Amino acid sequence: MHLNGKRILILGGKTGLLGQALTLAFKRTGAKPIPLSSKDCDILAPDSVEKLLDRHDPDIMINAAAYTLVDLAEDNEEMAFALNATAPPLLATLAAKRQIPFVHYSTDFVFRGDRQSPYSVYDEPTPFSVYGISKADGERGLLKLGYGKTLIIRISWLFGPGKINFVEKILSLCDSRDTLSVVNDQTGSPSYAPDIAKNTLHLLENDATGIYHLANSGQTTWYGLAAKAVELAGKDCTVEPVPSSAYPTKAERPAYSVLDLSRFTKTTGAPPRHWEEALREYVHKDLKLGTR
């Protein structure tokens, strides 16, 4: 599909970390993004989404809206399930009525993480946190609906401009502390939001449907990601590796959730770039740190 001139409705496109990157990426290709936030329409009220569909008559609908607060989800089960499990198939039904492609994002947290080899798109979800279970339910709802123009993209460990994220938090903590302790027993693949956005466009250009995994290439731990960011930013701060037990969180995280990107590479012809290269761009160009 050619994206030039196409109208793209992006739920979460105005205020979400990924949504903002999608909005920019579509603009750059000559498409016409229609970015939305919860103030423009509520994905829990399909009528409000339908009104916007009638008004804008988009060629593609993208759902980058979700309940993403992993720890708070443990106490806000109802809201997490409403946004992550109930809403996606309702949105896809609206896309199906218009026969337009529907793109939805899911997460590496649908996997338990009790192994040491990358998760393939053919692996069954094995979630255990409320967030992970709600996102896996959303995927299941979409697969059950069976609308053929649905693209489900699982991503992991998102960072990028436009909204506070792990990397930015680490770098700003460096301004008030000499030492930071970061967990070193959870391994995953960092994803630079602008790269996820650009690669989503590649999938659409290739008319991809079904489940895809997308992240930057390579893998690391949260400690590895933090240490590299601090080094690139040239901050005078020591990063220490610690076990997860040093930082108990309400929701348990998978110990290993690296995503196998081979389906993406096969479809588009090229693998995503390495996370360190993407992190360098984020720290130097977006945050304007460490270049002097």
Ligand X SMILES: NC(=O)c1ccc[n+]([C@@H]2O[C@H](COP(=O)([O-])OP(=O)(O)OC[C@H]3O[C@@H](n4cnc5c(N)ncnc54)[C@H](OP(=O)(O)O)[C@@H]3O)[C@@H](O)[C@H]2O)c1
Residues forming the site for ligand X (CB under 6 A): 11-12, 15-19, 37-39, 42-44, 64-66, 68, 83, 105, 107, 135, 155-158, 163
In the complex, residue closest to ligand X by CB? 16
Which is closer to ligand X, CB of 51 or CB of 177? 51
In the complex, least distance from residue 38 CB atom to ligand X, rounded to whole angstroms = 3
Beta-sheet pairing, 187-188 with 220-221: antiparallel
The encoded tokens of residue 145 equal: 């609906």
Which is closer to ligand X, CB of 66 or CB of 133? 66
In the complex, least distance from residue 105 CB atom to ligand X, rounded to whole angstroms = 4
Helix (H) or strand (E) holding 137: helix 130-145
Distances from the Cα of 227 to the Cα of 56, 60, 141, 236, 253, angstroms? 45, 39, 39, 11, 20
Which is closer to ligand X, CB of 86 or CB of 179? 86
Helix/strand/coil (H, E, C) string of 216-261? CECCEEHHHHHHHHHHHHCCCCEEEEECHHHCCCCCCCCCECCECC
Of 131, 192, 256, 282, catalytic: 131
In the complex, least distance from residue 114 CB atom to ligand X, rounded to whole angstroms = 19
In the complex, least distance from residue 194 CB atom to ligand X, rounded to whole angstroms = 12
Which is closer to ligand X, CB of 54 or CB of 236? 54
Using alpha carbons, select from 182, 250, 264, 271 the residue that is nearest to residue 221: 182
The encoded tokens of residue 228 equal: 């590299």
131 is catalytic: yes
Residues known to be catalytic: 131
